[in-house]
A and B are shown apart, each in its own frame.
Chain A
């Protein structure tokens, strides 16, 4: 009898224990934040602590074996690092900051992620809810400030809202056309306890991220493609975000259509692919720009006709029929009216399209691109890559990086001349290898983004190519690189000028170089101050060995390449001019 009684007793004890445990599932809002992140598969976040977010940081301390927090040296650096991480890993980047200045410092990175469709979740602390609107210490209306530059944002004032809002935030950030989401959490919501349970978000009734594919539109598109004599593809980042690189390559190869990329589409198709005819836009290649205004069919895939791509809209591809493959209905007929719009995820639409497309080669038409490329090589590329001046060119540095990385590095660029030169000449064999600030043109992007890019793809070589201007906008992130020992290779192409602005001053402002000349510090000494291996080259004969040494290093490495002060980037479409009025000099 006795054993049974004790068994019963035990069972009753266990029940009591379970009840106690389920009651102890009450956790604080701060702990809930961490558990939400873990439930979303986040193992790495970038941020900077401060008063209003301290409860969450306290939990980060407790969870540090499951969730790595990288302390950047400025909140802007945290957003760009999260962006770089998202771009190479394909996952959602996460940045966290305190209220007030911590929150406002995130705004540039959020705006950058919004215009370049980068999935990111930003978390900000906020003053306690009873202080909202009282102009409390470090209170700022980050919801109001971030509204125009976020895909979605929300202010949490009750701990119990945390699981649902985090689930929705991650769902919104990565679904459809990705983008940044900001969650602002009052300090009392971080402290308060509640019964925690997490359910992933599978849908939001007011939000339809991926439009349903219209097969009739696909049929019509196939008909136009099969009839076209001079078809031309322009692809953008949609191919990469839609993970449609294979389908895209199959479509290009089967249809035999020459394809050009926007700056964010770069690396979705290998550089050496015979149908990859180069870049469109302001500093794109000669052929693709000229022939935009000669093709009879323009097939735009996952791109949004940015003004830097189209030049003057009134003279953009007017002779051509236009097919637009797009996931975001707001981009349809926004800048360029399409004859056929295929609203869907391009992986799905291309999969439907490929069987309907006839196998073709457009030899004569492709010859036109080759002929124009010969002109560009003679007039521009030869001078860029094999200059007969004493000073080094930016292009030479990129060629050397190509050589020593076998064209298989992740290349991170900032904004300006070096960005255009790098995107023109860097070679790529794999997708997700080009990380740059395209839409917003954020100087200071590259250094922190390179850190994130390396952490998002730790097995890959990551080379940041940065101008001397942009480098100094976020130079403090050398501290983060040193602390994390992320083996980022940093190349500063130093011309002691804000080169792109200087180029415009030379061409359009009669050489009045207003505030573009930089008196620069000793960059090598600064890098060494952060205990990084560092070198400077200013002679052609030393360049190759220096790049080789940098790439061979398994640690972070800084290389300053002193280049010609007043080189210009060509070809160029002057603002407001037609793509076919592209200048070679």
Chain B
């Protein structure tokens, strides 16, 4: 209970201007750092989804969920451990094109890491790798000696193994009103 762990917070919400500010202020007020944050459309039309990763003790993540759910524009919030979710991150790596042609080894690295080449131009090429943190990290380390022009990694995206039941919740509201 008192061990700091990685938790993935999933929030289903209305897509309203200012909601991100409202949610991030909940973390700010409690001095909790956000490890990563991703927002997107969810499986339901007009419903938005936040995926926020935090490293806290379970008691804290529970309280965070309570405060998040309290927000008027939040439909439902959940927290899950890594074991309870399927999660990935995407990283992009920009490398000088000369490296691709002159260094044979780099081709092996790309192949072995199951990364994709997104684009190639005379000056540079861009590799994309989706996977766990350690996989995108390893590729970064492997490519570093060839001169990484740019590196960027997305926040975590995840789906849960269990059902979310948001559609049921929304249709129940429709029926009641």
Contact = CB atoms under 8 A, between A and B. Distances in A.
Contacts of B71: 152
A153 B72 CA distance: 10
Contact of B17 (A155, A332, A334): A155
Interface string B8-33: 00000110111001100100110000
Given A203-B173, A206-B13, A334-B63, A152 B72 contact: yes
A143 B18 contact: yes
A330 interface: yes
A479 interface: no
B117 interface: no
Interface in B84-141: none
A332 B25 contact: no
A147 interface: yes
B66 A334 contact: yes
Interface residues of A, number: 22
A206 B73 contact: yes
B152 to A, nearest CB: 27
Given A203-B176, A330-B66, A147 B75 contact: no
A151 B72 contact: yes
B18 A206 contact: no
A206 B14 contact: yes
Given A203-B176, A206-B75, A329 B70 contact: yes
B177 A148 contact: no
A328 interface: yes
A155 B18 contact: yes
Contact of A330 (B29, B69, B73, B174): B69
A172 interface: yes
A329 B72 CA distance: 13
Given A205-B173, A206-B13, A330 B75 contact: no
B124 to A, nearest CB: 35
B71 to A, nearest CB: 8
A147 B17 CA distance: 12
A172 B177 CA distance: 16
B66 A206 contact: no
A508 interface: no
Nearest to A334: B63
Contacts of B74: 206
Given A203-B176, A206-B74, A153 B66 contact: no
Nearest to A202: B177
Contacts of B72: 151-152, 172, 204, 206-207
A98 B61 CA distance: 39
A330 B67 contact: yes
A332 B66 contact: yes
Interface in B120-177: 170, 173-174, 176-177
A329 B71 CA distance: 11
A217 B72 CA distance: 26
Given A205-B170, A330-B69, A330-B70, A147 B14 contact: no
A205 B75 contact: yes
Nearest to A337: B59
A174 to B, nearest CB: 13
A202 B13 CA distance: 19
Contacts of B21: 143-144, 147
Interface size, B (range): 20 to 34
Contacts of B22: 147-148
Contacts of B70: 328-330
Interface string A331-342: 011100000000
Contacts of A333: 62
Interface string A66-78: 0000000000000
A100 B121 CA distance: 50
Nearest to B75: A206
Given A143-B18, A155-B18, A329 B66 contact: yes
Contacts of A152: 71-73
Contacts of A144: 18, 21
Interface in A329-360: 329-330, 332-334
Given A152-B72, A205-B173, A147 B66 contact: no
A333 B170 CA distance: 27
B130 to A, nearest CB: 31
A38 B162 CA distance: 48
Interface in A465-479: none
Contacts of A334: 63, 66
Contacts of B25: 147-148
Interface in A116-156: 143-144, 147-148, 151-155
A203 B21 CA distance: 24
Contacts of A143: 18, 21
A329 B170 CA distance: 19
Contact of B18 (A151, A153, A329): A153
B176 A148 contact: no
A147 B73 CA distance: 13
A206 B28 CA distance: 23
A330 B29 CA distance: 15
A329 B69 contact: yes
Interface in A341-387: none
Contacts of A153: 18
Given A144-B21, A148-B25, A330-B67, A203 B14 contact: no
Contacts of A205: 75, 170, 173-174, 177
Interface string A202-235: 1111110000000000000000000000000000
Contacts of B28: 148
B2 to A, nearest CB: 14
Interface of B: 13-14, 16-18, 21-22, 25, 28-29, 62-63, 66-67, 69-75, 170, 173-174, 176-177
Given A151-B72, A328-B70, 5 more contacts: A148-B25, A152-B71, A154-B16, A172-B72, A329-B66
13 contacts: A144-B18, A144-B21, A148-B29, A153-B18, A154-B16, A154-B18, A205-B170, A205-B173, A206-B13, A206-B72, A206-B74, A206-B75, A330-B70
Q: Which 5 A-B pairs have the closest CB atoms?
A: A330-B66, A152-B72, A206-B75, A330-B70, A148-B25
